[in-house]
């Protein structure tokens, strides 16, 4: 339930690397979250510009790439 994170200052997304899954999540988060909430996008191939383009806060989108092993 995305509504549970509406008051968070920083959100780390970690869903499958599929734009059809990620896009509606970011659109919804953009609607319900505070204007200064930062979104951490876990991606290796989806453009951060593309993610920011479906929000009103492209300056609050951070790209991350988790990989094994973690050091």
Question: Which residue in the list 18, 65, 67, 70 is annotated as catalytic?
Answer: 65
62: nearest Cα among 40, 46, 29, 30: 40
Q: With contact defined as beta carbons under 8 Å apart, do 42 and 12 qualify?
A: yes
Q: Establish whether 65 is a catalytic residue.
A: yes
Q: Which residue has the tokens 């009103």?
A: 56
Please give the positions annotated as active site.
Answer: 65
């Amino acid at each position: 339930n995305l509504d549970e994170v509406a008051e968070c200052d920083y959100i780390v997304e970690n869903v499958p690397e599929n734009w059809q899954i990620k896009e509606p999540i970011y659109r919804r988060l953009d609607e319900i979250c505070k204007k200064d909430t930062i979104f951490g996008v876990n991606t290796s191939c989806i453009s951060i510009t593309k993610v920011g383009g479906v929000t009103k806060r492209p300056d609050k989108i951070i790209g991350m790439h988790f990989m094994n092993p973690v050091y």
